[in-house]
Chain A
Amino acid sequence: MSNPFEDAEGTYYVLVNAENQHSLWPGHVEVPAGWTQAFGPAGREKCLAHIEESWTDMRPQSLVDAMESAAR
């Protein structure tokens, strides 16, 4: 069985949640609650390139906020 995230020829999206976490997302699967399409539809490589470029701080947003307020 092939995994929906491993189709090199497939169409994908990039999803983002409220914590600014990114997820590759297969085009034929419904977008789950709490996630929005940030990029796509596009080929797998394009989506990964977008993730590389846009997800620069991998800390969840709530941690970023907490660390900033602790630093203040």
Chain B
Amino acid sequence: MQVCEPPSPPLSPVVKCRIKACPWRPVHRQGDKSAGSMNFLFGVGVDVSSRSESQEKVEVWLSGVFGNALGLSEFAPDDDFFACGGDSILAARAAMQIRSKATGEVPLAWIFEQRSPAKLAVLLAGLVDPATLSAPAAVAHTEPAAVPAGPGTAPDAREGLPLSHAQERLWLLHQLDPDSAAYNEPLVHRIHGALDTAALRTALQGLVDRHEVLRTALRLDGHRPVQRIEPSLRAELRVEDLRDGTDPAAAAERLVQADIATPFDLAAAPLFRATLYRIAEDDAVLQLTFHHVVTDGWSTTLILDELAEGYAAARAGRATGLPELPLGYADFAARQRAWLDDGVGERQLAHWESELSGAPELSAFPTDRPRPAAQSYDGDHVLFTLEQELGDRVAEASRRHDVTVYAWLLATFLTTLHKYSGQRDLVVGTPVAGRHHPDVDRLVGFFVNTVPVRSRYRDHDTFEDFLRGVSATCLDALDHQDVPFEQIVQRLGLQGVTSHAPLVQTVFAYQEGEDLALRLDGLDTEPVRATGATSRFDLTLFMARQRDGSFACDLEFSTDLYDRATAERLVTHFLGLLDQVLDGPRAGLSRHRLCTRAELDQLDAWNDTAVDFPADRALHALIEDRVDADPDAAAVVHGDAELTYAELDAQANRLAHHLGRLGVGPDDVVGVCMDRSPELVVSLLAVLKAGGGYLPLDPEAPRQRLTQIMADARAEVCLTLGHQAERAPEAAHVVLVDDDHETLAACPAHRPAVAVHPGNLVSVYYTSGSTGAPKGVASTHEGWVNRMVWMQKQHALRPGETVLHKTTLTFDDSALELFWPLMYGGRIALIGPGLHRDPQAVLAAATAYRTVLLQTVPSMLNLLMDQITPDERLALGSLRNTVSSGEALTPASVRRFRETMPGALHNTWGATEVSIDSTIRTCGAADAEDTGAVSVGAPFDNNTVHVLDAAYAPLPVGVTGDLYIGGAGLARGYLNDPVKTAQAFVASPFGTGERLYRTGDQGYLRPDGSIKFVGRNDHQIKVRGMRVELGEIESVLRDHPLVRDAVVVARRTPSGQYRLSGYVAGGGQDGAPTVESLRAHLAEWLPDHMRPPFLVVMDRLPLNANGKTDRHQLPDPAQDMGAEKDERAALDGPVQRAVGEIWCEVLEIAGVGADDNFFDLGGHSLLATRVTGRLRDRFGLELPLRTVFDRPVLRGFADEVDRNLREKISGMSMDEMRSLLELLR
């Protein structure tokens, strides 16, 4: 890249007087010698050494154009435009003039790059024909000629004039919400001294006489809004004398606020109000409130200057010295329309369409509350100041980097937004002055337009890189700033949303050299920052650079979405990042952090959970302590069978010796595949005593899958029961723990002498794996001991108390029900095989055994709460703690729990990879009223939780990031899988040589340190509390011989449950697979909860533009059910129809057919319980749960219901029969 350093620019005096109140001003102004070159921004260098004659002609012409834009009579070809007072607005004007003669594109950036006529002329070679050029004598208009009839030339009201585009947008918004004061623009000043009210009135009248927009109303003419301009209008200054009241200053403040909150009627002129509040002798507050439709930031300065001049003139009895206005606002509006309609608008729209293609429509900036269906304008403001010193640092840094102060601050703000939202690609809005022509320089009116700025964040970029990108984007936006924002929105098809502002929800508004001083002759005045209780967008950051170099700032935020504390934190983080990028602009974006020192300390304090625990003991050793302490205490009860601690120990010792003989030692894995039974407890303990880690296997899972898992774990021994032996996987040794009685009886009853290290394996739980095969979590004694010791501290089990073991062994929560009681002298009561799915059976067992704790997934908890009666609640009096885990708990469940269940409800969160759980929250009244999911609480003993961003940096309160867990619970990794382990168990920046587990969950911290879970960052979902990787199901589907490709989609049902649909592309040479064969294939390899109930066979899967499967284009089979084209067998008779209704309700589908199978429609045991519950509610029918499994097809099930009803009817009175028939109708 050739970088061309321009010669030091000569300093030309700037004779032009301009108003300094517009965004987009670069810092290159008069006397700004250090500006240097901006060429490096764009990589364009130009050699100007040899000039041809025609080039010289272009140079001369360009010099005229530049001089014209700057208001200079002379401009040399080598002069630097920006050193001579040029800024972005003036550059834009020059560019427009140049384009009028050019045959190709002339980007605004060229002027910023080349800076002098001589250099620019080189680039323009071939684009302008020197023969057509003549030195511009005066300001050449590239806009169409002015509409005749300037201001003050017509005696009558001027009617039917078109609105400017910007006005039209505000007019439309006003029609939608006429009572809103969101677009009121207040100007408030405190005035000390003897105010001449008459002179002030005269000044105000002068303002109204001079600016037609202040005499204008916007009315409907047929279907179009038009401007009506009154030829004259008496300016009213209302005077409120508050001097006699108590606390007049406070009264004035209230009235100021009330006025700001009072809406305007746009159809009635004037669209401003002026009020003077007298609060003491020589002390008053002047309030001017405008509707935005007649003013903007630039106009503010004009208004204040002209009021001051008018006041001075009135006092002196002279005319004002203000120059004549060349045109009025309505003329501008007409010109603007004509000019845009002439092709400019269309060209710019095309630009925006391509610039914004694929951009996100909605900001992902985290909100405190869910977005309402219709967003209001309710808002609030956080006012703050960048002091002069900081302001100067920003100015100096921008100068050094050859960018505008605006670009530097915007880039900082964007960095903040990227980090807050996690979005790599986002769009903000920014206002532009919209004054391209010197004719409108002194005109009050609404010129400002909003342009979108798209920002892309790359981790490896430095802030400098990012800043350059932002700066270039801004220049590009300036080149296309004229087309009204509303038209861009329409072009992109984003109009018509009510829940958020279209396209941009966040705005950065910058104003250079803001001067709000009202210089009234002989008076001492000060501006008062007055803001209304409104917000036009989600968030708007206003930054106005004052003449002293400080910045007056205002963060406007929607109170629909944000609390004040959140907005204040955002300001803190923005300022913190500003400081960091000023200190280290060359550092990577990822090195810049949101968190302040104080916040980092707070995060550390929340994670300071370290406590002592017996880290040197093995899990079973702690159980053996209890055996020794009270050998005759009851350890396990199952129906009539009971084991004491001594019996359990002895049986486990025998089996452990047997395992030792089979070669099992420390770190070996032993499969355990059996139903809940005393033998199960013996087996688990025996595996640990032998030094091994147990591998839980579900006897109901497909045998091939179990064999696959055994092989993956390199397990050679599998423990099972005689009646389940054929369900057990293939293994080198299969031990029948009940039937191999003789072998075991021959083994010694004393404890085997095996040295078990706390780092040895305690268990290997397999979970769904995204790449196709399940993966085993290698948990250690140390992690589990910590988990159980904390559990005792939390739930305080007393010796002799009972804990119900109901959770399926393959779900790691079951370990809590098994080992925790045994470590503390409790009794484990086993619920029979299969009964854990039946809420009635669970309630009965919990009551009969007097359990003190219930461990459950929320879906089961909801069923329990559906079923429990007040009497049952009383009978369940021993239950002190119910623990929810596995999936998100809803506030509604917390509410129901408080109404229906005894004891306390706790929510926990964690992962098998970190010893089952890591956080807890005891649910209180606030959780019942929460939105989203109930908080998962805070980390417990020896656990830490970290919310980190894409750069692995801690995020502050309220900001969503990836959740990581550290501490004593960390598993060794994934068994025999170093690659998966090294990706999921990663180096920790929070403890030397330590690791963190990457959960894949996302969430954020609340101000009290509790964690809220918000979702996943991958395709993992939970079905009935169990982890499911969609990738694993897809991989199994693809293994089917007739399947070419497969994709699995998880959709939420209306009640929030996941429902799986599998889509396969078949139809190779061997034909397409049938749904039945796919079902059979899935059943061979996947457990029940991982099999998609809906399977769709397609010719090919729909692809998106990138060639990837387009998940959005896949039809939802559940939605199509019951539709007209549905070809399933119709329901026949009232009973089938009643059953059909119940099925539809429970399965959350639109229709069913008589030949449909309950389980093929997504039914499972928990839903089966709901079906029998509905039949009970509706017909008083007690149908055993089993019926649903025995008769899964609707026709047969309905027959069964019919039979039961007939039996019931036979004993009914006529009245009872009649009411039953009513129910069936």
| A residues at B contact (CB < 8 Å) | 1-7, 10-11, 14-15, 17-19, 21-35, 48, 51-52, 55-56, 58-60, 62-63, 66-67, 70
Name which of B203-211, B881-889, B947-955 contacts chain A: B947-955
Contacts of A3 in B (CB 8 A): 950, 962, 998, 1017
- List the A side residues contacting B422 at CB < 8 Å: 1-2
**Is B982 a contact partner of A51 (Cβ separation < 8 A)?**
yes
**CA–CA, A7 and B983, complex, Å:** 12
Q: What B residues does A17 contact at CB under 8 A?
A: 987, 993, 995
Q: Which residues of A contact B978 (CB under 8 A)?
A: 22, 51-52, 55-56, 58
The yes or no answer to B714 lying at the interface (CB within 8 A) is: no
Are B949's CB and A1's CB within 8 A? yes
Q: Would A58 and B759 be within 8 Å (CB), given that A1-B1002, A23-B985, A28-B459 are in contact?
A: no
Q: Are A70 and B757 in contact (CB under 8 A)?
A: yes
Interface 1/0 per residue, B1182-1220 and A, CB below 8 Å: 000000000000000000000000000000000000000
Is chain B's binding surface mostly helix, strand, loop or mixed?
A: loop
Residues of A within 8 A of B988 (CB): 32
How many angstroms between the C-alpha atoms of A34 and B992 in the bound complex?
5
The 8 Å CB contact of B987, one of A15, A51, A62, is: A15
Within the complex, what minimum Cβ distance (angstroms) separates A22 from chain B? 4
Instruction: Fill in one digit per residue for B438-457: 1 if any A CB lies within 8 Å of its CB, else 0.
Output: 00000000000000000000
Contact A5–B983 (Cβ < 8 Å):
yes
> Closest residue to B666 on the A side, CB-wise?
A67
Please state if B424 and A2 are interface contacts (CB–CB under 8 Å). Answer: yes
Give 5 new A-B contacts, CB below 8 A, not counting A34-B994, A55-B982, A58-B975: A1-B960, A10-B459, A32-B992, A35-B987, A48-B982
Q: Is the CB of B950 within 8 A of A4?
A: yes
Q: B986 within 8 Å of A by Cβ?
A: yes
Q: In chain B, what residue has the closest Cβ to A25?
A: B987
- Does B707 touch A at the CB level, under 8 Å? no
Q: Which residue of B lies closest to A1 (CB)?
A: B422
19 contacts across the A-B interface (CB closer than 8 A): A1-B1002, A2-B424, A3-B998, A5-B998, A17-B993, A18-B993, A19-B993, A21-B973, A21-B995, A22-B978, A23-B995, A28-B459, A32-B988, A34-B987, A34-B994, A48-B983, A59-B667, A60-B972, A67-B757
A29, A33, A35: which contacts B952 (Cβ < 8 A)?
A29
B180 / chain A contacts, CB cutoff of 8 Å = none
B459 touches A34 (CB 8 A): no
Contact B1017 A1 (CB under 8 A): yes
Q: Give every chain A residue within 8 A of B972 (Cβ-Cβ).
A: 58-60
Chain B 454-469, CB-CB to A under 8 Å as 1, else 0, gives: 0000011000000000
A2 to B826, CA, bound (A): 46
- Measured in the bound complex, the distance between the Cα atoms of B459 and A67 in whole Å is 43
B423 interface residue (CB < 8 Å to A): yes
Q: Known: A1-B949, A3-B962, A67-B666. Is A22-B982 also a contact (CB below 8 A)?
A: yes
The listed residue (B460, B591, B983, B989) touching A32 by CB distance below 8 A is: B989
Asked if B322 is an interface residue, CB under 8 A from chain A, the answer is no
Taking the complex as formed, is B760 at the interface, i.e. its CB lies under 8 A from any CB of chain A?
yes
Cα separation A8 to B1110 with both chains bound (whole Å): 20
Inter-chain contact B993/A26, CB cutoff 8 Å: no
Residues in chain B near residue A25, CB distance under 8 A: 986-987
Known contacts: A19-B993, A32-B987. The answer to whether A14 contacts B1017 by CB under 8 A is no
The SS class assigned to the A binding surface is loop
Complex: A23 Cα to B989 Cα, angstroms: 12
Taking the complex as formed, is B976 at the interface, i.e. its CB lies under 8 A from any CB of chain A? yes
How far apart are the CA atoms of A17 and B643 in the complex, in Å? Answer: 46
The closest CB in chain A to the CB of B460 belongs to A28
Chain A residues lying within 8 Å of B986, measured Cβ to Cβ, are 5, 23-25
CA distance A32 to B985 in the complex (A): 14
980-1020 of chain B: CB within 8 A of chain A: 981-983, 985-995, 998, 1002, 1017
The chain B residue with its CB closest to the CB of A57 is: B978
In the bound complex, CA of A29 to CA of B666 (Å): 37
User: From residue A28, how far is it (CB to closest CB) to chain B in Å?
Assistant: 5
Q: What's the minimum C-beta distance from A41 to chain B, rounded to whole angstroms?
A: 11
- Interface membership of B107, Cβ < 8 A: no
B1009-1048 contacts to A (CB < 8 Å): 1017
Q: Chain B contact residues (Cβ within 8 angstroms of A): what range?
A: 35 or more
Residue of A nearest to B755 (CB): A70
Residues of A with C-beta under 8 A to B667: 59, 67
| Docked complex: B739-759 residues within 8 A CB-CB of A | 755, 757, 759
Q: Any chain A CB within 8 A of the CB of B778?
A: yes
Interface flags for B820-834 (1: CB within 8 Å of A; 0: not) read: 000000000000000
Q: State whether B759 touches A62 (Cβ < 8 A).
A: yes
Option from B778, B983, B993 in Cβ contact (under 8 Å) with A35:
B993
**Chain A residues with CB below 8 A from B760, complex form:** 63
Whether B565 sits at the interface, judged by CB under 8 Å, is: no
Could you tell me the distance between the alpha carbons of A22 and B984 in the complex, rounded to whole angstroms? 10
Distance A29 CA – B982 CA, assembled complex (angstroms): 16
Residues of A within 8 A of B994 (CB): 34
Would A58 and B989 count as touching, CB distance under 8 A? Answer: no
Q: Is B588 interfacial (CB 8 A cutoff)? A: yes
Chain B residues within an 8 Å CB radius of A55: 978, 981-982
Q: Which of A14, A23, A66 has the most CB of B within 10 A?
A: A23
Question: Is B696 part of the binding interface, using a Cβ–Cβ cutoff of 8 Å?
Answer: no
Q: Can you list, as one digit per residue, whether each of B756-783 has a CB less than 8 Å from chain A (1) or not (0)?
A: 0101100000000000000000100000
Contacts A18-B993, A58-B778 given: A26-B962 contact, CB under 8 Å?
no
Tell me the complex Cα distance, A25–B422, Å: 20
Q: Are A48 and B759 in contact (CB under 8 A)?
A: no
Asked whether, in the complex, the Cβ of A52 is within 8 Å of the Cβ of B979, the reply is: yes
**Chain B residues near A56 (CB-CB < 8 A):** 978
Contacts of B423 in A (CB 8 A): 1
Chain B residues in 8 Å Cβ range of A11: 460
- In the complex, what distance in Å separates the CA atom of A58 from the CA atom of B778? 10
Assess the A24–B983 pair: CB atoms within 8 A. Answer: yes
Docked complex: B911-949 residues within 8 A CB-CB of A? 949
Which residues of B are found within 8 Å of A48, using beta-carbon distances? 979, 982-983
> Per a CB cutoff under 8 Å, which of A18, A22, A30 touches B989?
A30
Which B residues are CB-close (under 8 A) to A22? 978, 981-982
B950, B973, B1002: residue with the most chain A Cβ atoms closer than 10 Å = B950
Residues of B within 8 A of A31 (CB): 987
B590 at the binding interface (Cβ < 8 Å)? yes
Contacts of B975 in A (CB 8 A): 58
> Chain B contacts of A60 at CB under 8 A?
759, 972
Q: Is B910 an interface residue (CB 8 A)?
A: no
| Contact B979–A1 (Cβ < 8 Å) | no
The interface residues of chain A lying within 8 Å CB-to-CB of B982 are: 14, 22-24, 48, 51, 55
Q: B9 interface residue, CB < 8 Å from A? A: no
Residues of A within 8 A of B949 (CB): 1
A59 to B983, CA, bound (A): 17
A34 to B1000, CA, bound (A): 24
The answer to whether A58 and B987 have CB atoms under 8 Å apart is no
Contacts of B990 in A (CB 8 A): 32
Decide yes or no whether B967 CB sits under 8 A from chain A: no
Determine whether B186 belongs to the interface, using a CB cutoff of 8 Å to chain A. Answer: no
Shortest Cβ distance from A27 into B: residue: B460
Find the B residue at minimum CB distance from A60: B759
Contact assessment for B757 and A23 in the assembled complex, using a CB-CB cutoff below 8 Å: no
Q: How far is the CA of A47 from the CA of B1198 in the complex (A)?
A: 59
Q: Which residues of A contact B459 (CB under 8 A)?
A: 4, 7, 10, 26, 28
Determine the residue in chain A with the shortest Cβ distance to B960. A1
Give every chain A residue within 8 A of B951 (Cβ-Cβ). Answer: 4, 28-29
Pairwise interchain contact A66-B757, C-beta atoms closer than 8 A? yes
Given A29-B952, A58-B981, A63 and B759 contact (CB-CB distance below 8 Å): yes
In contact, A28 and B993 (Cβ under 8 angstroms): no
- Residue of A1, A2, A21, A29 most packed against chain B (CB within 10 A): A1
9 closest Cβ pairs, A-B complex: A1-B422, A34-B993, A34-B992, A55-B978, A63-B759, A17-B993, A23-B987, A32-B989, A22-B982
